[in-house]
Structure 1
Amino acid sequence: MRAADLIVLLGTVGFIIAYGAIKTRGQRDLHSYLRSGGEKKWWAICLSIMATQASAITFISTPGQAYQSGMGFIQIYLGLPIAMIVISYLFIPKFYSLNVYTAYEYLEGRFNVKTRYLIAFFFLVSRGLGAGITLYAPAIILSTMLGWNLNMLCLLIGVCVIIYIYVGGERAVSQTHVIQMAVILCGMAAALLMLIRYLPSGVSFTDAVYLAGKMGKMNALDTSFNAGERYNLWSGLLGGFFLSLSYFGTDQSQVSRYLGGESPNQSKMGLFFNGMVKIPMQFFILFSGVMVYVFFLFHHSPDFFNTKALEQAPLSMQVRQQLADRQQEHRQNDDMMKQAALDAIHYKNTALENAGIAKLRALQQQDLELRSDVKKIIKTNAPQVETEDSDYVFLNFVLNNLPPGLVGLLLAVMFCAAMSSIAGQVNSLASTTVIDFYKRFYKKDATELHYVRSAKIATLLWGAAIIAFAVSAPLFDNLIQEVNIIGSLFYGTLLGVFIVAFLIKRIGGGAVFYAALLSEATIIMLHVFITLTHFRLSYLWYNPIGTALVVGISGILTVSGSRKTLPAG
């Protein structure tokens, strides 16, 4: 690593750790440690919500997804603004009226203690798994660039985050989020500006957008109704709405961000602005991936983006010669694509426009076939190398094309994103463990200082568990999708329970408890069936299906008189 990059990276990360630990040390009561003392303004809430959601996966995987398949992923967020409004007027008043530390405390008063335990347990499982993948993402960066041991990197990153969470709790999480978001936005803006600057002479920004559009990369909306497509307008509006409603309304990693607000109105404003800013921010990140695609139209790209792993693979000379031959073919095709792209721009708004675009598309198809051949060779001769390389696209561009110092800044962006998201998740896992299990079940009448110390111990234990799980993340093909899939397996059930709690007063604890168990079992079996049979159904539909199952089953049990035979608590 170049000295300038190392200075920027270590300086940024070191400052955040020191600031978070020193600024928030010495807390001795739960209100400060788990709810930031109830002092957060709306803008801090908004930034903290965004920082928790925008993990390093967002900045590694999302641009690669846009490079491969365009802007369609943005449709997953179309239901988010509506969800923010519903949460502001339905969830926040309930939580504030009871002065709860976690969302699941509310369920005991509304239903019974076992429903509270069940939903809190579902949260711990889903968030613990998701946090493990979130931790793995930045480890890709340094292991790819420096050749360090991946497991040691997971340990290093996890420890860096745990230091200031352990010391300052939610207050440390909130205050460091502001700095981390500033670094993230500045770094991504710098990367996009460099991508525009790298356009060849005579190719304008408008020309770049034109090419991306003609090659299908700017198609942000798919209005066709197809339940098998992961991303379209309808799955985004309905499935995305339920996913957002579940995540921001029932997931403690987000609920704790706004429960520390100065007032309910400050929390509502924080959510409103998150709903307004999130889609433009995600568009910006995806568009950066599209511009990476345009960049590689005019510059040579690798035929396999996970280049470091391939270099280290134990391949025979014969296999390496095969790959070298494919690389030569790929470079020749690159040269033809560059000329075809320039011709397409020149032919714009002329009779030759369609012919120019058709030629470019044909060359792109040849490029895809060459890349597919390379992956087949790698998979046959080095099965330990992950051939799904979309998560390496943006990283490859950063490491090989940006100037000294800016590489360090982009690495700091990904590191900050990982730290901000992991911090929020570990803090919420610890708070749920202490409030919903330890304090409620084991030790009800201890001092505030005792519970703060217990939360710190829970922070250490969850940090260790997340680090241990992170080493299995390479099993997944696309990190950003896997995080959403894990969440969707549980979020529908969680949301269904809260919908019943808020809106259907007739349904009691016994019915909703068994409905939640049946709903979760059904969603998991559905996912296993889809995985094994390759049946086409977007994971976004798990959220409304799970919600409908809880509401429907609990309603049926209640109407049929099952409430009389089911234990109430």
Structure 2
Amino acid sequence: MADQIEILDLIIFFGYMAGILLFGISFYFRKNKSPENYVTGGGKLPTWAIGMSIFATFVSSISFLALPGSAYLGNWNSFVFSLTIPIAAYIAIKLFIPLYRKINSVSAYYYLEVRFGSWARVYASICYLLTQLARMGSILYLLALPMNALLGWDIAWIIIITGICVIIYAALGGIEAVIWTDAIQGIILIAGAVICLLVILNQIPGGTTEAIKVAKAHDKLSLGSFQLDFTTSTFWVILVYGLVINLQNFGVDQNYIQRYMSAKNEKEAIQSTWFGSLLYIPVSLLFFMIGTALYVYYQSDLTILPQGLRTLDAADKIFPYFIVNGLPTGFTGLLIAAIFAAGMSTISTSLNSSSTIILTDHYKKYISKNPSMGASLRVLRISAVFMGLISIAVALAMTGVTSALDAWWALSSIFSGGVLGLFLLGYLAKNVKKIEALIGVIIGVLVISWMSLSAILLEGEMLEKFKNPLHANLTIVVGTLVIFLVGFLLSGIGRKKGETRKK
């Protein structure tokens, strides 16, 4: 019976994956091939599809696998991140979407060049590319976990093979393939998550009532400590982190800006943003419920788990194990396929956006200002391959982490470079000059470097007091604030000196 289940699941998995890959690649054979279609779909994509794509960009396999792992390991503290999304989305529709639609540039960082010069655009684009490498590496690693549980294949080889498949799909398909596959996978992921939760609760003695009782007794439903402590992962740390990172997502992340530009008009871009962002909140809650339900289920009888998964260090591998061993026949293959396809479409989004940035912010500016249509498409595809190969290396380096979610959050904090602070400085402080913004960025980078590296480089009792005392997630928050405040204060000082000279 076990062999039959495995064969059926494999047939469903490979059949489903083949269908999705062929669907994505089919966009390569469309008649109208142009760089514009490759990066924005010609601005003709429907509102609901773009909204589902924004939702799927939030979800990916990071949410599907890492959020249950986080809830299993601790509590619902990370759910506070989701609660900040409506605030960030509201600011986006009032501030960011009208701005990007007005300047009509597919690059998220063109505005920074207009405001502060070429250096600002280069800085922001490099930070973006580094962030995407961390993101793609995290997703590739998480995608390998369920396949490792299903087939026992080596995680490193799964990462390499999956990465190569995604590169082919992303380099050929363009943004239309990305958005349409995102839309399909978003629907399937929601259905799959609901099925998983119902199956888990059905297998817990006492059902939902008992699950809630045990979860409360073990403090698994807590949103974290409400103490004003910024050295650990309290409610306030995740709240501030979530607000800043989501503002950065909506405001300066190329993945989102390309979706704003893919909509037919500003109104549809706003509707897509609301739809995709608000849908993520209940779905992310669903993932935390799955993680908590798994904790209750397995803690009631740890012998159900293999010896290697009985410690909390294996939290990220618990849900993949349940998918393989706890779901009815056929659902395992379908759910793993959905996780894979969603992760692959999210990676392809990053590859598409990264290649767009390489073309618009680097190739066209410093190598060839007016490349032909064919040359532009070649650069886009070669760039996607290049970024994909590096992301495979990042994924291989992540195989030893305890929590992929924590690793991703820490890396995204570091690589963000406080770009949101620079953007807000340019938009809100109209009198800030280039040199003042540059000084702000230099000081901000130094602060980010100290916060990120002090724990590693400053060892010993003598240097202990010079280490960063704040939680790692606050790196992006402090970096953003430093860049904005330094630039703003220098601008004020410069104005006062100018007024003194006039008198």
2:481 equivalent to 1:548: yes
For the residues of structure 2 that align with 1:449 and 1:305, how far apart are their CA atoms? 55
How many residue pairs align between the two structures? Answer: 484
> Does the CA-based 8 Å contact 1:243-1:492 persist in structure 2?
no
> Does the CA-based 8 Å contact 1:256-1:428 persist in structure 2?
yes
Q: State the Cα distance separating 1:389 from its structure 2 match.
A: 1.0
2:337 equivalent to 1:412: yes
For the residues of structure 1 that align with 2:449 and 2:42, how far apart are their CA atoms? 38
2:488 equivalent to 1:558: no
2:139 equivalent to 1:134: yes
List per-residue Cα deviations over 1:291-314 (Å, max 9, x = no partner): 11121244444576645xxxxxxx
List per-residue Cα deviations over 1:106-133 (Å, max 9, x = no partner): 2111221111111111111222122122
For the residues of structure 1 that align with 2:80 and 2:292, how far apart are their CA atoms? 16
Q: 1:183 to 1:275 in 2, by over 3 A?
A: closer
Q: Which amino acid aligns with 2:477?
A: P
> Does the CA-based 8 Å contact 2:109-2:125 persist in structure 1?
yes
For the residues of structure 1 that align with 2:301 and 2:232, how far apart are their CA atoms? 32
2:207 equivalent to 1:282: no
Structure 2: give runs of 5+ residues left out of the alignment: 459-463, 498-503
Q: State the Cα distance separating 1:137 from its structure 2 match.
A: 1.3
Q: State the Cα distance separating 1:535 from its structure 2 match.
A: 5.8
> Does the CA-based 8 Å contact 1:76-1:235 persist in structure 2?
no
User: Which residue in the other structure is 2:370 paired with?
Assistant: 445
Larger gyration radius, structure 1 or structure 2: 1
Q: 1:81 to 1:401 in 2, by over 3 A?
A: same
Q: 1:163 to 1:562 in 2, by over 3 A?
A: farther
> Does the CA-based 8 Å contact 1:240-1:540 persist in structure 2?
no
User: Which residue in the other structure is 2:13 paired with?
Assistant: 9
Q: Secondary structure at the match of 1:28?
A: coil
Q: State the Cα distance separating 1:255 from its structure 2 match.
A: 2.2
2:81 equivalent to 1:76: yes
2:409 equivalent to 1:484: yes
Q: Secondary structure at the match of 2:473?
A: helix
The structure 2 residue matched to 1:241, chosen from 240, 243, 250, is 243
> Does the CA-based 8 Å contact 1:161-1:423 persist in structure 2?
yes
Q: Which amino acid aligns with 2:10?
A: L
Q: State the Cα distance separating 1:22 from its structure 2 match.
A: 1.0
User: Which residue in the other structure is 2:56 paired with?
Assistant: 51
User: Which residue in the other structure is 1:493 paired with?
Assistant: 418
Structure 1: give runs of 5+ residues left out of the alignment: 308-370, 373-386, 565-569
User: Which residue in the other structure is 1:269 paired with?
Assistant: 271
Q: 1:550 to 1:304 in 2, by over 3 A?
A: farther
For the residues of structure 2 that align with 1:139 and 1:443, how far apart are their CA atoms? 39
1:131-210 paired onto structure 2 within 5 Å: 131-200=136-205, 203-210=206-213
> Does the CA-based 8 Å contact 1:512-1:550 persist in structure 2?
yes
2:97 equivalent to 1:97: no
Q: Which amino acid aligns with 1:212?
A: A
List per-residue Cα deviations over 1:129-160 (Å, max 9, x = no partner): 22122212111222343232333212221122
Q: State the Cα distance separating 1:183 from its structure 2 match.
A: 1.9
For the residues of structure 1 that align with 2:209 and 2:353, how far apart are their CA atoms? 44
> Does the CA-based 8 Å contact 2:134-2:412 persist in structure 1?
no
Q: 1:301 to 1:284 in 2, by over 3 A?
A: farther
For the residues of structure 2 that align with 1:7 and 1:14, how far apart are their CA atoms? 10
List per-residue Cα deviations over 1:44-87 (Å, max 9, x = no partner): 22211121222212222221221121222101222211011111
For the residues of structure 1 that align with 2:80 and 2:308, how far apart are their CA atoms? 28
Q: State the Cα distance separating 1:492 from its structure 2 match.
A: 5.9
Q: 1:145 to 1:165 in 2, by over 3 A?
A: same
Q: Which amino acid aligns with 2:483?
A: V
1:449-468 paired onto structure 2 within 5 Å: 449-468=374-393
For the residues of structure 1 that align with 2:381 and 2:417, how far apart are their CA atoms? 30
List per-residue Cα deviations over 1:435-463 (Å, max 9, x = no partner): 10001211111222321221111111111
For the residues of structure 1 that align with 2:193 and 2:406, how far apart are their CA atoms? 21
Q: Which amino acid aligns with 1:403?
A: P
Q: Which amino acid aligns with 2:261?
A: L
1:426-445 paired onto structure 2 within 5 Å: 426-445=351-370
Q: Which amino acid aligns with 1:134?
A: I
User: Which residue in the other structure is 2:461 paired with?
Assistant: none
The structure 1 residue matched to 2:227, chosen from 221, 224, 228, is 224
User: Which residue in the other structure is 1:214 paired with?
Assistant: 217
Q: State the Cα distance separating 1:422 from its structure 2 match.
A: 0.7
Q: Which amino acid aligns with 2:401?
A: F
> Does the CA-based 8 Å contact 1:305-1:390 persist in structure 2?
no
- The percentage of counterpart residues that share the same residue type is 27
Q: State the Cα distance separating 1:21 from its structure 2 match.
A: 1.1
Q: State the Cα distance separating 1:520 from its structure 2 match.
A: 1.9
2:428 equivalent to 1:503: yes
List per-residue Cα deviations over 1:299-331 (Å, max 9, x = no partner): 444576645xxxxxxxxxxxxxxxxxxxxxxxx
For the residues of structure 1 that align with 2:300 and 2:480, how far apart are their CA atoms? 48
For the residues of structure 1 that align with 2:493 and 2:468, how far apart are their CA atoms? 34
Q: State the Cα distance separating 1:472 from its structure 2 match.
A: 0.6
2:112 equivalent to 1:107: yes
| Larger deviation, residues 82-91 vs 22-31 | 22-31
2:283 equivalent to 1:255: no
User: Which residue in the other structure is 2:25 paired with?
Assistant: 21
Q: State the Cα distance separating 1:223 from its structure 2 match.
A: 2.7
For the residues of structure 2 that align with 1:129 and 1:305, how far apart are their CA atoms? 31
For the residues of structure 2 that align with 1:158 and 1:64, how far apart are their CA atoms? 23
The alignment's C-alpha RMSD in Å is: 2.3
